[in-house]
Structure 1
Amino acid sequence: MAAKSLNQQIFRLTGGLVLLSTIAILVNVWFSTVEHAEQQLETNLQIAESVFKQIFRNREEQLYNSVDILTSDFGFKAAVASDDEATIESALLNHGRRVEADLMAQLSLQGSVISTTNSSLNVGEPFPYQNLIEQTNQRGGVSTIMMLNDQLYQAILLVVETPRPHGITLIGFNVDNRLLERLKGITQLDVTISVEQSNDISYSVSTLQPAIKEQALKQTNADLSWLDVLLFSDALYISKRFLYVDNDNNQIWVTLSENVTRLYGEFNRLQLKISVIAGLLLILTLMFGAMLAKKLSTPLYGLSRYARKISAGDYDQLIEVDSKTKEIDALSNAFVAMQANIKERQSEIVFQATHDLLTGIFNRYKIAKILDAKFKENTEFMVIGANIHGFRGVNDIFGYQSGDRCLQAIAARFEQLDGKCARLSGGEFLWLPDKELNGDMLRVIQRKIEMPIIVDDVVMNIKIALGVLHCPQDCDNSESVFKRINICLDEARVTPDLIVTYAEEFEKNYIRRLAIISELKKALASKHSELSISYQPKLNLHTNQVDHAEALIRWNSERLGFVPPDEFIAIAEQAGLINQVTEWVINAVVDDVAIMREQNIPLSVAINLSAKDIVDPHLLTYVTDKLKEFNLAADCLSFEITESDIVSEPTKAIVELQRFRDAGFSLAIDDFGTGYSSLTYLKSLPVTELKIDKSFVLKLNEQNSDQQIVQTILQLAKSFNLSVVAEGVEDNASLTLLRDWGCKWAQGYYICKPAPLVQLINWYTDNLATDWMK
């Protein structure tokens, strides 16, 4: 629904109130007047009826006196007694002239006309109203109104006694317009007398004009019509009708009519005055309403224009509104404050929309806009992605607050460089240098950014991986930049110097990693998994018996084919799937160990753990619950941890590894000797074994340097009271050297290749009596 203007609403309010008030007054006056008029009319009609009847009673008394004088006259009695018609006629004429009677007649007791002065009756004929003759004979006299020869008379019939009844004398007056006009003069009402025979009017006399007579008679005993009154009808009557005489099927009806226009004249004038006053008041109200509306709407329209400008982003306009209204001034001041606040908030919103809130540098959205602008310029430029290597570990070891301080420090170092920088997510940054950089320059910048960060006396040593794109050769839009910089950083994280420049094969590797992640999720969720476990036995060189084995996961993918463990394990760690993989291995190994124990094969199986597994506080509970499920002891399993994994988070690793040792599990450092920092923590690590990397064992009988390294490790392990496992044994000579030097376990292809459970059981059974030293 369309909105109404303030002017319209004020006009409607003021005009509506005045109009409603006027209508209320007019209706109230109307109902009051109608009520008063109805009461007045009822009173007037009742009075007029009484006056009418009283006048006719007076005429009746006059007639009675006149006929009584005549019938009391001796001479008239004698003439009646002697049936002297001439004398009777003369007496009737003389007396009629004297009393001004319009009808004089002498009737016999049987109702025959003996003599008359009116042509309405014929001598010798019967009187028309025989019922009156009967009533007169019975009562001695009758007063009535009768119709004779189209003339209406008020008459008296009286018995003439001589001294016995000897005739009936009739005397009457005309009931005509003159009489009715006199009645009207007395009652101020119009009078209509009607004679009806069988409900049909046979005669009527009235003071009303013929044109309005019919309408007046229809309004007999009717309610007032307010519509007729409002239309000021000049012929608006209301009437009262009553039966006056009922003579032998001749009914005499009297109708009294009041002209209500006269009663309503003052009312109509009052209504007119009120209407005129209301009209003037309505006009004045609308005029003042228009002035008020203009006074209010003009500054409001001005404020609305300012509001539109503010909504369009114009926050510097000067708001000035000419108004003498406190509320408008307050609203204007509110607009000024709103403009300032919106301007401030808009600046904050723009900053938040384009900047990273933690570091204050550009965010992904803003740097994308900058990249798109550079692509439109069609110039060459360099894009460098940076990622804090192992940033999740920084948060885990030093806490998220220290991690945030680390990000802020890195961002500040990028801002000191020439160009534009942004934080994309987590520990990932993007830098657009102002000039082209070569490899040496990138390594210098990498070292500057990797400088130790000190937070609350805690020194954080970080590593930064860099990925380099050359645009527009490598990319042609911002989305491809983000995608390929991620690909570069994935490659950089696994290169020695953590710096790579984009190459097309990276994308193929990236697609393969995505495929491996997708298929690995399916394999882990499937009941008929493509994953499997192979076991490589460990020969105890002290007892010449196989009592340990290492569990090695294998994956033959229906879509990807055979995927090497080194490849998909690393990808699982990056994708956050390594914990699921470890749980799958634990489930499979415990199930297999339970089967081997049922067949009296007491092998202790070693399971490899990743860096994320070590710091998982829930892993130990998971392992112990699984063993309890099959009622297996802790010596059924042992765990191997890669040397580099321990070095990455030594403090937390030591705590979690100690929990495994306290639970009764043996722990081994895998690939020992390939790192360079583990010796620092070896004295505090709760491990029971060292596992010599196969790179030192494969040609042990041929390489003197390998022999020296292996002997050194064995001596180091002895000093720390640790057992040693040598992997990669390929010949008997190497096996013999290891036994002679005191190595406890050996594993390799010379002893047995990794095999599934069924093959392992068969091999174990077949080699119980084998002498491995021959």
Structure 2
Amino acid sequence: MRISFFARVSLGVMLLLLLVIGSLAGALQQAAQQALERHAQEQLNIGARVFERLLALRSQQLQDEVRILSSDFGFRDAVASADVPTLRSALRNHGDRAEASEVLLLDLHGQIKASTSAAFAEGQPFAYAQALLTQLQNPQHLLVVPVDGVPHLLAAATVRAPLPVAVLIMGFEIDRALADELRQLTHLEVTLLVQTDNSKPRWLSTLLNAPAQQLELLRQLDSDSRHWQPLALAGEHYLSLAVPLSEAADYQISAFLHRPLNAVSAALLGLRERLLSIAGLAFGASLLLALLLARTVARPLERLARSAQRIGQGDYQAPIERLRVPELAALGAALGQMQHGIAERERQLAHNALHEPHSGLPNRTLLEERINSAIAAERPLGVLLIGVANFSEWLSARSGDAEQQLAQALAQQLLELRRPGLSVARLLDDRFAVLLEEASAAELITLADQCQQRLSQLRDWQGEALGLQVHIGVASYPQDAHSSEALLHCALAALHEAQMHHEPVQVYEQAKDAARQRQIILVRDLRQAAERGELQLHYQPKLNLRDGQIRQAEALLRWQHAELGWVSPGEFIPLAERTGSIAALTRWVIEAAVAQIAQWHAQGLVMQVSVNVSAADLAAFDVCQVVEQALSRHQLAAQQLVLEITESAVMQDQQHALAVLQALRELGVGLSVDDFGTGYSSLAQLRQLPVQELKIDQTFIRQLGPEGDDAVIVRSTIEMSHRLGLKVVAEGIESALVLELLRDWGCDVAQGYYISRPVPASALQAWLASDAAQVLQG
């Protein structure tokens, strides 16, 4: 029996609808299943990050507490004096305030000197010395150790006085309360597992805790796995993720996060039923509509639909069938034009998305894809990041399409290297990259040298040398990084190092990169340090050895960075001098010192304060104007301010220094030569300067004794200075013996840790009124 056209169209449409709706329902079912699984995995990932963040926050709290306690002057004094009862009291008080489980004090050999916990007996060695060393070197590293089978989070800091004398440790027990808190935050079940060599595994879990379930839970957990783990317990199914907390030769501590799946499966079953219902309704309605349309346009439209489907799937090569019905023929022609236009645009978009327009080379996106592909296959590779330092200057002297010509010329030179596994890309206008797989370190350096030679000796289209300044940074996987982003960062750090030291090729070194990143942060934040209130002045008192009175102090700049903490002046002052920030710092110091002198004067305390001025300050701005305005603003006598100029600054440009110092002297400001003896000047040279005071450098004072070269230098300097009418100040005094020697030799003023360390202004006032200051003043 011959089937009619209408029947064939209807049957075909019916089968097509069944196929489409079935495929759609299956795809939706599969997509829903995958989405739910991804959702569970995402929840576990989020839970893992939340857990790590909770530990990191708690670690930071402990770190802040140990840093505060280790910096406390009284505590350090108790450590230095080995006052164990005082130490125990301080440890217990600070531990209670921080809600710590234990607080320990170790000596530099790892012996426990004081402890608030019976688990850490005094006089015993600290069992986790190696892990503690890692935590001290990297405060961001979490130190988690087992204590009686229970995981404890520890934070440590070095106690200095000023050299390291002890290590302070504060611990926090990772207990059921933390697990319950994480469960409330993430709606995930939590299991903490501690495995040691000499005892049975210890654990706690928010899951059901019947004995049989405990054994089954321990049997299924795999702390060595870094992937998703299915878990079945008491009829409930879970998806689990292991979060390693700490691992050593004799213990392993892990956390497991569990996402219940039964509720998800029930929701998926309900979704399947709703999809089937919707699919049935859609099939019935579509069938009715198909029967209505099949008489006239079913078959032509079906062919056009198949063509459109091919286009939607990315097939732009199959031609569109010609139709006899004029209206449908026009529709087919329009569909063919659309197919051609989409194909051309996608080709152009795909190329532009992965290539740089001027050179035609792959861009950063394609380069990163190739790097990630090699890393995923664990193929060793190296990256050469090439920078042309004078690229912009070269282009500014030319016009037209010079950039495109230069980019193509550079690309051609790199492509002519023709090595297996070599790829070339352009990342920025003046920056190219060469990727070489399966290359040794020696091969990478050889290739970098070849690239540098080729590009540096490149000639233009008239045969003249371009004179390009080319530097190359080299980094490799897996030695330096394990991701494309990190690998490119390492290569960029090596490139910056090469540019800074004018080296043609530089291989990445992690230590230099870390130091460079710290310097970048300090240089960046130093400009706003005063505005953020991070700068402070500490004052070190000076003892007049002739009458035993303390009427002078030196103002010393201190910087407490918001993230890095206290930054040594020996670190940020040279950076300020190199980056031109020293002038702003000196202005701030002069203003702050004058304001403090005026405040003391109003309170009845008359002090003469000295401020350090560098060679850069003498040349960078008008010191006289800054000092005069500050004194006038606070209505302060000029005699109460002394400017200390280093010996090297005075001798660097004597004529300019003489003019500036003469102007300052005319204002009435006191002048002192600092660090005398470290340069190449002599007293005969300094007598030409209008200074009233000479400060002997502490290198001659610290180890001073009755005999020896230092004694000869110091005594002769004091005698000759007095003959020239100069007052003599000795700094760096750290013992009573040195103080008495200087007093006997006729030194005028003494300064050093034996008298007092530099302290804030309020602390200096309190110290002046203390018994220690009264004893010094007789």
Per the normalisation by structure 2, the TM-score is 0.38
Larger Rg belongs to: 1
Per the normalisation by structure 1, the TM-score is 0.38
